[in-house]
Amino acid sequence: MEHFTMEHAIQLDNQDPLAKYRQEFYINHEKIYLDGNSLGLLSKRAEKTALEMLKSWKNYGIEGWTEGENPWFYVSESVGERMATLVGANGREVIVTGSTTGNLHQLLATFYEPQGNKKKILTDELAFPTDIYAIKSHLKLKGFDPDNELIKVKSRDGHTLSEKDIISEMKDDVRLVILPSILYRSGQILNMSKLTEEAHKRDILIGFDLCHSIGSIPHQLTQWDVDFAFWCNYKHLNGGPGAVGGLYVNQRHFGREPGLAGWFSSKKENQFDMDHQLVSEDHAGAYQMGTPHILSLAPLLGSVDMFQEAGIHKIREKSLKLTEFMMTLLEQELAKEEFIIRNPVPDEQRGGHLFIEHSDAARICKALKENGIVPDFRSPNGIRLAPVALYNTFVEVWKTVQTLKRIMDNGEYRKYTNERGVIA
């Protein structure tokens, strides 16, 4: 096997067609930031559009709803149209609104319609907790016991899911399936096309949580005939902390009344009639509820434009090279240590981050941070490392693995407690 060196990393960076985008971000050159799958870095374009939105408030006051370069009244639809290419949808199927959990509540309220014995919701035991909390809430609201009506597909190894196991649980009593596109811990990509096809064969609606996939991998939601999807925009899309989320509704479902109706569910031309009879939009905008969070949405105007310019397929190509390079280095430099790579290795199954295990993971993460490297600890013994295509480099990956090797060789990590912080 080829032995990779620092010179090889430099060569890869010199050949990188996306290298110029690193200059678009605010980089702390004293650190190596590998936590973009939790919170992406600020770009200069996102800062610019955020400041421009503040300026529009300053200059227009109330008139900002209809005046200026990005009138507030239409900005959720405008950004949704631009974001649609990232999920493989048409512009009318995507709206930027709410939050991950708020949007999931809306979609559950809209699409979970138990009929007779067909009343169960299928998900998985590795799902992010907020998805489970929301699903349980809606089962209880319908008068059901989640212990009986919520099916969580078991993982065979505690890290990944078998698609065969998921499909085998799509039984006659299942009404709705909600799954992650990429598992937040291990980074496994599920075959959304196959799972959607199998669900529809059984007259089951299916939706996906795209939090760890949007901006990281390409999607074709409409081509795959996915019923709905939801996501946050502060990870790979670099929308900033608390950025407004997004949702997708397949055009087949246009005209379905929103389960949680609100003022911004209304058709734009009817909204200020102030009628108590809702006339909802005939596109994904119907699934908005309250007034858009304009200032938290503004950074996405700049960020999404950068993704359109760079191209999601080129981003994915570099992401795969970065994670493959890191896996090779981990095996090359740390073979004698007790690290286990838990993320899938095949390209078609591996998302934008790596997940490695070690019994001293918490203290290793603390040692990495002390040495200027920002990882992500996941209890009880997981380390997530996310080299992001738009701003991380192959040299940074090289330096990270060399630092990890050093703190393991000299035992530096042992001076820290093996416990997570308040936020991990």
291 marked as part of a ligand binding site = yes
d(CA 198, CA 146): 24
Do residues 287 and 305 both lie within one domain? yes
User: What pLDDT sits at residue 420?
Assistant: 75
Do residues 213 and 258 both lie within one domain? yes
Instruction: Kindly report the CATH number assigned to the domain that includes residue 137.
Output: 3.40.640.10
Do residues 280 and 397 both lie within one domain? no
Do residues 62 and 23 both lie within one domain? no
263 marked as part of a ligand binding site = yes
21 marked as part of a ligand binding site = no
Q: If DSSP states are collapsed to H, E and C, what string results for 293-311?
A: CHHHHHHHHHHHHHHHHHC
Q: Which of 310, 326, 354 is the last residue of a domain?
A: 310
User: What pLDDT sits at residue 423?
Assistant: 65
The domain tally of the chain equals 2
C-alpha dihedral (196, 202, 203, 206), degrees to nearest 10: -30
130 marked as part of a ligand binding site = yes
Do residues 126 and 195 both lie within one domain? yes
**28: alpha, beta or left? (left if phi > 0; alpha if psi -120 to 50):** beta
Residue 139 belongs to a domain: yes
Do residues 256 and 381 both lie within one domain? no
Residue 39 belongs to a domain: no
**Strands of the 382-385 sheet, one edge to the other:** 340-341, 354-357, 382-385, 376-378
Q: Which of 279, 310, 341 is the last residue of a domain?
A: 310
Do residues 285 and 335 both lie within one domain? no
Handedness of CA 237, 239, 242, 245 (dihedral sign): negative
Do residues 394 and 258 both lie within one domain? no
29 marked as part of a ligand binding site = no
Q: Identify the DSSP state of 405.
A: H
Question: Residue 181 belongs to what domain range?
Answer: 48-310
Residue 276 belongs to a domain: yes
145 marked as part of a ligand binding site = no
Show pLDDT as tens, one digit a residue, over the chain (424 residues): 567 899 999 999 999 999 999 999 999 999 999 999 999 999 999 999 999 999 999 999 999 999 999 999 999 999 999 999 999 999 999 999 999 999 999 999 999 999 999 999 999 999 999 999 999 999 999 999 999 999 999 999 999 999 999 999 999 999 999 999 999 999 999 999 999 999 999 999 999 999 999 999 999 999 999 999 999 999 999 999 999 999 999 999 999 999 999 999 999 999 999 999 999 999 999 999 999 999 999 999 999 999 999 999 999 999 999 999 999 999 999 988 999 999 999 999 999 999 999 999 999 999 999 999 999 999 999 999 999 999 999 999 999 999 999 999 999 999 999 887 766 6
Q: What percentage of the chain's residues is helix, strand, coil (to nearest 5)?
A: 45, 15, 40
d(CA 375, CA 372): 10
User: What pLDDT sits at residue 94?
Assistant: 98
The kind and range of the H/E element at 369 are: helix 361-370
Side-chain half-sphere CA neighbours of 118 within 13 A: 13
The pairing of strands 340-341 and 354-357 is: antiparallel
Handedness of CA 136, 140, 146, 148 (dihedral sign): negative
User: What pLDDT sits at residue 3?
Assistant: 78
100 marked as part of a ligand binding site = yes
222 marked as part of a ligand binding site = no
No. of H helices and E strands in the chain?
14, 13
Residue 411 belongs to a domain: yes
Residue 43 belongs to a domain: no
**175: alpha, beta or left? (left if phi > 0; alpha if psi -120 to 50):** alpha
Contact (Cβ atoms closer than 8 angstroms) between residue 250 and residue 222: yes
Do residues 241 and 336 both lie within one domain? no
Q: If DSSP states are collapsed to H, E and C, what string results for 178-218?
A: EEECECCCCCEECCHHHHHHHHHHCCCEEEEECCCCCCCCC
SS3 at position 120? strand
Do residues 202 and 261 both lie within one domain? yes
Contact (Cβ atoms closer than 8 angstroms) between residue 134 and residue 123: no
60 marked as part of a ligand binding site = no
292 marked as part of a ligand binding site = no
Question: Count of CB atoms within 10 A of residue 336's CB?
Answer: 9
Query: Distances from the Cα of 322 to the Cαs of 42, 181, 186, 386, 391, in angstroms?
Result: 21, 20, 16, 9, 11
Q: Which of 264, 286, 310 is the last residue of a domain?
A: 310
Residue 421 belongs to a domain: no
Instruction: Kindly report the CATH number assigned to the domain that includes residue 14.
Output: 3.90.1150.10
d(CA 12, CA 244): 35
Do residues 292 and 330 both lie within one domain? no
Q: Which two tokens stand for residue 324?
A: 């493959």
User: What pLDDT sits at residue 2?
Assistant: 67
Residue 35 belongs to a domain: no
